[in-house]
């Protein structure tokens, strides 16, 4: 069975194709700015402008036509409503035109599952760090969220600070580059039980920037502090659940320093650290196609969007 999928929940418009064994295509076009952040209506305009082009690219990469596709899946949520609507409408139109079955899937479940698929991790503590979400998750009878960011997600914290210091969107990769030349300055460390809070750190780092502390030092310290907080709660989840694996996923998993720190902690605990490969770290269509394939037996009649759909509300019948 060949699944074609549409991802549009945030900055990325992606089309992925999965054939039940391997990923045949993972085409995408990412909204970015030189300055300023992500405005939902502008992201939606971007997606409208690139959707046909990305579809053509994906089919070409897979050497297929729409006739070869058996099922279409799309990101139903969570995400930015205007952006989700573009993807839903596109998927619905394709399903109608080519008479294909359609399924809306959860974007976070797709991040977790593609992480398992790519790394071979079996039953990990998921450390999911993206632009909009930061959660420590374990699968029991469903996905359970053990801890999460109370205000803004870690990716969002990086993007926000990058915006404050004029780096544009997405900020994470630029912060990682600058951090290589930085040294440590103290920033607030905010862990509350199993939860983490990043908003105060961004405020303090911005204040220090305005006082003349070097960008490089602030980028380095922001990374060290945020990652240490995340690894602390992950370590607690690992001990509590008696698991032996941690899987780092989501766009922030692209950060080399982050996976390095995670590996050190796991080694000390006799656990194994997995990091999703770069291509499948951030948002992309392949993970939505894979998720559609996992859920292929499900029937769906209403094709809405669900911008606030939490991963712990997902029925994980395919597990």
Residues found near ligand AMP in the complex (CB under 6 A) = 10, 130-132, 155-156, 158-159, 170-173, 176, 250-252, 254-255, 282-283
Q: How far is the CB of 156 from ligand AMP (least distance, A)?
A: 6
Query: With respect to ligand AMP, which residue has the nearer C-beta, 159 or 195?
Result: 159
Q: How far is the CB of 241 from ligand AMP (least distance, A)?
A: 24
Query: With respect to ligand AMP, which residue has the nearer C-beta, 159 or 217?
Result: 159
Query: With respect to ligand AMP, which residue has the nearer C-beta, 50 or 69?
Result: 50
- Return the sign of the alpha-carbon dihedral for residues 55, 58, 63, 64: negative
Cβ atoms of 247 and 124 closer than 8 Å = yes
Angle of helix 40-62 relative to helix 81-98, nearest 10 degrees? 40
Q: Closest Cα partner for 14 from 284, 288, 287, 293?
A: 284
Query: Pick from Mg ion, ligand AMP, none: which does 78 bind, CB < 5 to 8 A by kind?
Result: none
Q: How far is the CB of 112 from Mg ion (least distance, A)?
A: 11
Q: How many residues does the chain have?
A: 319
- What secondary structure letter does DSSP report for 135? E
Query: Pick from Mg ion, ligand AMP, none: which does 171 bind, CB < 5 to 8 A by kind?
Result: ligand AMP
Helix (H) or strand (E) holding 245: strand 245-249
Instruction: Say how far apart CA 283 and CA 136 lie, in whole Å.
Output: 18
Q: Where are the alpha helices (DSSP H) in 106-214?
A: 107-119, 154-164, 172-179, 199-210
Note the residues at the interface with Mg ion (CB under 5 A).
130, 283
> What number of other Cβ atoms are within 10 A of residue 268's Cβ?
9
Query: Pick from Mg ion, ligand AMP, none: which does 252 bind, CB < 5 to 8 A by kind?
Result: ligand AMP
Q: How far is the CB of 80 from ligand AMP (least distance, A)?
A: 11
Query: Pick from Mg ion, ligand AMP, none: which does 224 bind, CB < 5 to 8 A by kind?
Result: none
Query: Pick from ligand AMP, Mg ion, none: which does 176 bind, CB < 5 to 8 A by kind?
Result: ligand AMP
């Amino acid at each position: 069975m060949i699944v074609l999928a549409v991802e549009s929940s945030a900055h990325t418009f992606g089309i992925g194709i999965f054939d039940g064994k391997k990923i045949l295509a993972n085409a995408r076009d990412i909204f970015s700015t030189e300055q300023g952040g992500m405005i939902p209506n502008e992201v939606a305009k971007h997606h409208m402008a690139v959707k046909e082009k990305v579809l053509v690219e994906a089919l070409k990469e897979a050497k297929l036509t729409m006739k070869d596709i058996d099922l279409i899946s799309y990101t139903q949520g969570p995400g930015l409503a205007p952006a989700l609507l573009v993807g839903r409408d596109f998927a619905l139109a394709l399903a109608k035109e080519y008479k294909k079955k359609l399924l809306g899937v959860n974007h976070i479940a797709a991040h977790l599952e593609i992480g398992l698929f790519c790394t071979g991790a079996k039953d990990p503590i998921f450390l999911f760090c993206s632009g909009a979400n930061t959660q420590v998750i374990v699968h029991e009878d469903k996905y359970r969220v053990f801890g999460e960011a109370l205000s803004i997600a870690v990716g969002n914290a990086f993007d926000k600070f990058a915006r404050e210091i004029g780096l544009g969107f997405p900020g994470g990769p630029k912060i990682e580059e600058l951090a290589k030349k930085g040294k440590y300055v103290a920033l607030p460390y905010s862990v509350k039980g199993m939860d983490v809070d990043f908003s105060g750190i961004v405020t303090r780092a911005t204040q220090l920037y305005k006082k003349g502390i070097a960008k490089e030092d602030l980028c380095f310290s922001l990374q060290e502090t945020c990652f240490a907080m995340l690894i602390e709660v992950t370590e607690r989840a690992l001990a509590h659940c008696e698991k032996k694996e941690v899987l780092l996923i989501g766009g922030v998993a692209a950060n080399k320093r982050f996976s390095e720190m995670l590996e050190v902690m796991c080694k000390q605990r006799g656990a194994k650290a997995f990091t999703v490969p770069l291509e499948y770290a951030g948002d992309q269509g392949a993970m939505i196609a894979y998720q559609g394939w996992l859920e292929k037996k499900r029937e769906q009649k209403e094709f809405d969007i669900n911008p606030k759909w939490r991963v712990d509300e997902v029925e994980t019948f395919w597990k």
